[in-house]
Amino acid sequence: MAGIYLHIPFCKQKCRYCDFVSFAGKEDVAEAYMACLLKEIELRGKELSGRTFDTVYFGGGTPSVVDPKYIYAAMRQIKKCFRLSARPEVTIEVNPGTVSEQKIAMYKRAGINRFSVGLQTAIDAQLADLGRVHTVRDYLYCASLLRGENFSADVMIGIKGQTRDDLQKTIEVAVGSGAKHISMYALQPEDGTPVYTDYLNGELPDDDEVAALYDFGRELLARKGYARYEVSNFCKKGCESRHNLNYWRRGEYVGLGVAASSFFAGRRLLNTTDLDEYMKCTLSGFFPVIDSEEVSVQEAKFEFVMLGLRTVYGVSGRRYKEQFGSDWTEDFAAAYKRTRQYLETQDDVTRIRDEYLFVQNKILSEYAP
């Protein structure tokens, strides 16, 4: 199975913590950009005509900020140019400050059957401080439009001033609104963003406080019936994100749009992050790729182990042997020995013990080539 990712790089305003390739105040070029995206879909579709894709994901940026007719057109082009499986999972990221009944209806007509909604926190003052364009009330309105749909809510931990009570309220809002999937992830203060200054000023919770918030949130989610299947992802039974599972299983994916990355035929590709360059390339009939490299066997082995250990599905020794013809605990003998106390093995599958999943980065760094 394989996935398709489409990057829609426009936002109403830039959040204070954001270092994604997204542009505020450039909606006027959205029409031209989306036309270029249709061109890239056509070009890449021809190249990959032999493959079947099981998931489509509109991410960003804020896909819900552009006119929904462009999303409809992109989806129609995807169906025309790529072969999709019988029941593909088609997701769109939605910012609660940019939705309407008409938009949701149009998305559903386009074939979108999963929604990822950025709640982040149920405390309005924190939303404002993060630079989000929506309020908790906007989120509740958005969730009411999605009642009965398969939707996920993003919850952030490590926000300035965030208490356990704040996190509890946020999770309760997400659960009460009907989200079947919850992504709970830690704020990363990236250098160059305004939030980085907060971090330097010592205004953000430290690592131990974030870890404690995570444990608190994880236990609360478990009590509410959301099982963890990856370090930041929790869901009701059967509501895992198929698109993300494909990434974590080292499945192939094609990324379309500015700054999108791809992995297929043993190669990694990266599109330009420059909006003008992206549009010029695609309009001239060229792929907007600025980097393309073959994944070595050593890198492939590391990815297999790293991606497996990130999830509760772990590393299957049998599948590793089928792919690489060797034993992963021997290929990574030194790292395996050093991290063994954090791991558990059942049958042929090795996982990070539940209590260590949040500090997985330290464990995984032992395996890096």
Verify binding: residue 61, ligand SF4, rule CB under 6 A.
yes
95: contact with ligand SF4 by CB under 6 A: yes
Return the range that interacts with ligand SF4 (CB under 6 A); candidates 59-67, 79-87, 237-245, 269-277.
59-67
Please tell me whether residue 158 binds ligand SF4 under the rule CB under 6 A: no
Residue 41 interacting with ligand SF4 (CB under 6 A): no
By C-beta, is 157 or 220 nearer to ligand SF4?
157
Which of 62, 329 has the CB closer to ligand SF4? 62
Are the C-beta atoms of residues 63 and 95 closer than 8 Å to each other? no
Q: Report in angstroms how near the CB of residue 160 gets to ligand SF4 at its nearest.
A: 16
Which of residues 20 and 313 has its CB atom nearest to ligand SF4 in the complex?
20
Residue type, 121: T
| Separation of alpha carbons 155 and 147, rounded Å | 19
Q: Which of 11, 136, 174, 245 binds ligand SF4 (CB under 6 A)?
A: 11
Using the contact rule CB under 6 A, the part of the chain among 58-66, 164-172, 240-248, 360-368 near ligand SF4 is 58-66
Which one, 59 or 288, has the nearer CB to ligand SF4? 59
Cα(182)–Cα(232) distance, integer angstroms: 8
The reply on whether position 62 binds ligand SF4 by CB under 6 A is yes
Residue type, 176: G
- Which residue, 4 or 18, is less far from ligand SF4 as judged by CB? 18
Q: Judge contact between 20 and 72, C-beta under 8 A.
A: no
Q: Does 257 bind ligand SF4 (CB under 6 A)?
A: no
Q: Is 255 in the site for ligand SF4 (CB under 6 A)?
A: no
232 binds ligand SF4 (CB under 6 A): no
Q: Is 14 in the site for ligand SF4 (CB under 6 A)?
A: yes
Nearer Cβ to ligand SF4 (61/308) = 61
Least distance (Å) between residue 8 CB and ligand SF4: 9
- CB nearer ligand SF4, residue 77 or residue 271: 271
Nearer to ligand SF4, 42 or 124 (CB): 124
Looking at the Cβ atoms of 11 and 281, the one nearer to ligand SF4 is 11
Is there binding between residue 20 and ligand SF4 (CB under 6 A)? yes
d(CA 117, CA 179): 9
# residues near ligand SF4 by CB under 6 A: 10
Of positions 15, 167, 335, 357, contacts ligand SF4 by CB under 6 A: 15
Q: Which residues bind to ligand SF4, rule: CB under 6 A?
A: 11, 14-15, 18, 20, 22, 60-62, 95
